[in-house]
Amino acid sequence: MTRQQLGTVLVTGGAGFIGCALSERLAPDAARWVVVDSLHPQVHATQSRPAALADAAELVVGDVTEPELWDRVLADVRPDLVIHLAAETGTAQSLSEASRHARVNVVGTTELLDGLGRAGIVPSGFLLSSSRAVYGEGSWQRADGTSFVPGQRSHAQFERGQWDFEGATPLTSSVASTWPTPTSVYGATKLAQEHILSAWVDAHDSALGILRLQNVYGPGQSLINSYTGIVSLFSQWAAEGRSIPVYEDGRITRDFVYIDDVADAFTALAGRMPRAGVVRYDVGSGVATTILEIAGHIADYHGAPAPHVTGQYRDGDVRHAACDIRPTIEALGWEPQWSVERGVAGLQEWIAAQAS
């Protein structure tokens, strides 16, 4: 990919976990790489420029929900490509801070678009970091082969210790076959981002590429934000010699995808954007791993006590999440390179380096 192909790139939330990884790969090859980020203290402890952000990246500190920010930025920057990463994350947190999630994820997106409109700018394309949370529980299959969408597990169901939907097994999520039915405020706001951007690009003859990311982990992940992923949290507990507590019966499944594979997927899509319209892809490892299994890998790495199942739960959590990545592989020429075992080891090495 050349500087001419990338042009000027505007990255919202570009000083975060994924944004820094992308900057290392793509910023040197862009005519300009402009990052807008609030440096939220929940993620950035010192609220200073991250060391992992590429030197070529121009950082603008500001709140994506403020119109004045966009008027200031877009008076100077005319992006050819917008990579929209800015979002509040965390399914559990979104239940108690719904307005915060909606303000950043939904209003932040509309303010960006309104700012582009006031500046008379129509980027050739947008890349959106969406989430597996848009699927909610996805589809399940009964013993007779029929499928259904069960919706959200209730608080009463959790209290009974009924973790699965009786007489059914989960199906792997897929853009092509799984209707999005988010069961969290966070998931609903991510789906809203998809709809808002889709409507805007169709009306302006622009293009939108959406990557529905599974559970992203790896070096660069915030070690102070418990809502950004359980892998880093588990890693810190195991490094302290503690037994990792695992919720429900330990058989919750997730598709853990390493940060390098996610950055590669963004890079692949940036080089294969359509001229107009919307494309959506699932990005994961393609492997469903139980929480107990990944906790075991982390504990083994540190020689920590075996994880223990607590029977605790979080309202709004989905039981199973994994995706079919075959269409993504075929369309983008991308394929994940990191197994869970290798990725866990890579993260532990990085965490240890931060402490030294």
The residues carrying an active-site annotation are 186
Cα–Cα distances (Å) from 52 to 25, 221, 231, 243, in that order, read 11, 11, 20, 31
- Residue 176 has phi, psi (to 5 degrees) of -75, -30
Longest dimension (CA), the chain: 60
- Residue 125 has phi, psi (to 5 degrees) of -165, 165
3-class DSSP state for residue 113? helix
The CB density around residue 57, as the number of other CB atoms within 10 Å, is 26
- Contact by Cβ (8 Å): 327, 174: yes
- C-alpha 259 chain-centroid distance: 10
Give helix 291-302 / helix 230-239 axis angle, nearest 10°: 30
